[in-house]
Chains A and B, each alone.
Chain A
């Protein structure tokens, strides 16, 4: 609460700085501010930045250092016998101290040591906050004054303000990059721990997946085999079925929408088709489990096939339906982007509409369509919810779509659901699977985006 007041005060100070800077600029700028290098408001922003940025920086640094310094002081003041506790217990004690200190309620303290330390912690924290508020406000005011004093007609305020804005833009864009790097590194380190226990060759080429490990040496029946091939095969099988469903339907509907459909029909049908993309995947999961799978099983029984109720076929079909709008919408975009002059050229030679579409429009749009399909494949491979609900759990190595198979994503979910110990190969294998999944989808995405970009260059 106090903290937000501090921020509001800083903001107000910056606003005041803006007014002062602008006023000062108008004052030194001569008649109609003609002598100024930049517009008067840039001088205002200049002062506001001088006012706000150093103070905010100070607060950020202060807040990130505060816990360590406070902890050091509190631990230093602890009685000798508490200080000599093993580090695990000491950190437990410090946790309690911090919690008590924050709530201000010492009644639940585990002992006198904790409550004294907590009180000290609380006092120190209040003091620290007060000091921070005073110093940062002082810096803001100082910045404000300095900024105003710097204002001269030849000060290039616009360039400076825009430079600061650019730094902010760069910082924001690096957040995404660093997050990606962080994710990759966390996957990589856990995977390395896994590969120290299980050889990568066994993992990548082994044909047997049964990740249950023996807890004790005398346990039987839990061998712990980490051959991921059945999972990759299952993923590929389901993705393949999904693409067999999605690519023809999506592409044909895109061709109809882009080339044949009346604008009125198009304006209704296209959003309707895209509603499919907005359905939560859990709902697709219901659809697969409750509608498609029983239907396929009964239909199969009627013609003498035995189809498992958790078949790859049902899962793949529903996943394909989910991907249809993805493909149709992307293909529709690239088909509409094919320049009209090409169509006119074909018509001018006496081509019919279908000849024009088949021989001119689709070849011209093909790179974009392929890019869209590759993006859809990477989506299918990474899809989790539908397969968790509708595909099986046991790892069969089979190409028969009527049987139950399991996928990489399903196994990751089952390995990590519930309480897990993070030093057994069973849990760590999830990270290795995740790493493989990430690499495959990354490659697919990069290839797809490159194909799409190459296509864009040609016509823009």
Chain B
């Protein structure tokens, strides 16, 4: 359905490439007494893939979860500093967190399809946000989301079967389709390939590259090859601090910091 998907694309406003979409200024996160993220400032540009790398426990996932306020759900978590989306403070009292998460979608480490049919999984977001006026509308959204997640051809004959019955890689692409269906502006991905085999990983990476055209993507990854393959800009975190941030090519070929160099050459981490 090419016409439908084009119409769908036009619904969501897109920023110009190169302008900043999300800006973090001096962000600190505390879990109880633990200072998990220390004074991180970062600019995420529209229609680019920004990779967050670093050893386990370095705060990269914590930072990612600040961006759509998933840290709100954690007991005892406290966030200070300023994070803006298109210039609006996302921690501002007047901003509804539900609206925010509709604009900033998220894909998780472990594929987590709901125990519903494939169709209902993708339709879930549009339904709760009232994005579809009719059932034909909804079907359009579901089909085009599945198409853009590169899953439609594989599942078009079994949309009513449970999403939990798909393979791991298919489940993850279903979760991506589910996130796209809400037409977010930013998609956060928390190690989206860590539970997938190399072939499924390659498919998801290809997908990320295609999605960049329409979305701003932030991806946390443990694989430096993956960061190098899919991202335009890379941020290296260590012990809760942002050590270095720059163009991916520069980070991987000519890192300015000793820590970064040590990490990407595999001397620690």
**Interface digits, B165-208 against A, CB 8 Å rule (1 contact, 0 not)?**
00000000001001100100000000000000000000000000
Tell me if B68 is interfacial: C-beta within 8 Å of chain A.
yes
Alpha-carbon distance between A342 and B113 when the two chains are bound, in angstroms: 7
- Chain A, residue nearest B113 (CB): A345
- Chain B, residue nearest A363 (CB): B115
Chain A residues, Cβ within 8 Å of B108: 341, 344-345, 348
Q: Are B105 and A349 in contact (CB under 8 A)?
A: yes
Tell me if A359 is interfacial: C-beta within 8 Å of chain B.
yes
Q: Shortest CB–CB separation between residue A395 and chain B, in angstroms?
A: 45
Q: Are B114 and A346 in contact (CB under 8 A)?
A: yes
Q: Are A347 and B114 in contact (CB under 8 A)?
A: no
Q: Are B101 and A345 in contact (CB under 8 A)?
A: no
- Chain B, residue nearest A345 (CB): B112
Alpha-carbon distance between A325 and B112 when the two chains are bound, in angstroms: 31
Q: Are A350 and B182 in contact (CB under 8 A)?
A: yes
Tell me if A351 is interfacial: C-beta within 8 Å of chain B.
yes
Alpha-carbon distance between A357 and B108 when the two chains are bound, in angstroms: 19
Q: Shortest CB–CB separation between residue B190 and chain A, in angstroms?
A: 10
B112: contacting residue among A344, A351, A352, A363, CB under 8 A: A344
Alpha-carbon distance between A344 and B107 when the two chains are bound, in angstroms: 10
A350: contacting residue among B114, B115, B125, B175, CB under 8 A: B125
Q: Are B116 and A350 in contact (CB under 8 A)?
A: no
Chain A residues, Cβ within 8 Å of B16: none
Tell me if B229 is interfacial: C-beta within 8 Å of chain A.
no
A interface SS class: helix
Q: Are B70 and A349 in contact (CB under 8 A)?
A: no
Q: Are B106 and A348 in contact (CB under 8 A)?
A: yes
Q: Are B105 and A342 in contact (CB under 8 A)?
A: no
Among A342, A350, A352, the one with the most B-chain Cβ atoms within 10 Å of its Cβ is: A350
Alpha-carbon distance between A240 and B178 when the two chains are bound, in angstroms: 41
A348: contacting residue among B70, B99, B129, B164, CB under 8 A: B70
Tell me if B14 is interfacial: C-beta within 8 Å of chain A.
no
Q: Are A349 and B115 in contact (CB under 8 A)?
A: no
B105: contacting residue among A348, A351, A363, CB under 8 A: A348
- Chain A, residue nearest B73 (CB): A347
Alpha-carbon distance between A355 and B128 when the two chains are bound, in angstroms: 8
Tell me if A216 is interfacial: C-beta within 8 Å of chain B.
no
Within 8 A of B (CB), among A327-377: 339, 341-342, 344-352, 355, 359-360, 363-364
Chain B residues, Cβ within 8 Å of A350: 98-102, 125, 128-129, 182
A-B contact pairs, 10 of them (CB 8 A): A344-B108, A344-B112, A348-B101, A348-B107, A349-B125, A349-B179, A350-B129, A363-B115, A364-B115, A458-B115
Having A347-B101, A351-B125, A359-B124, one finds 15 other A-B pairs with CB under 8 Å, namely: A342-B112, A342-B114, A344-B70, A345-B112, A349-B101, A349-B102, A349-B105, A349-B106, A349-B182, A350-B99, A350-B128, A355-B128, A359-B128, A360-B114, A363-B114
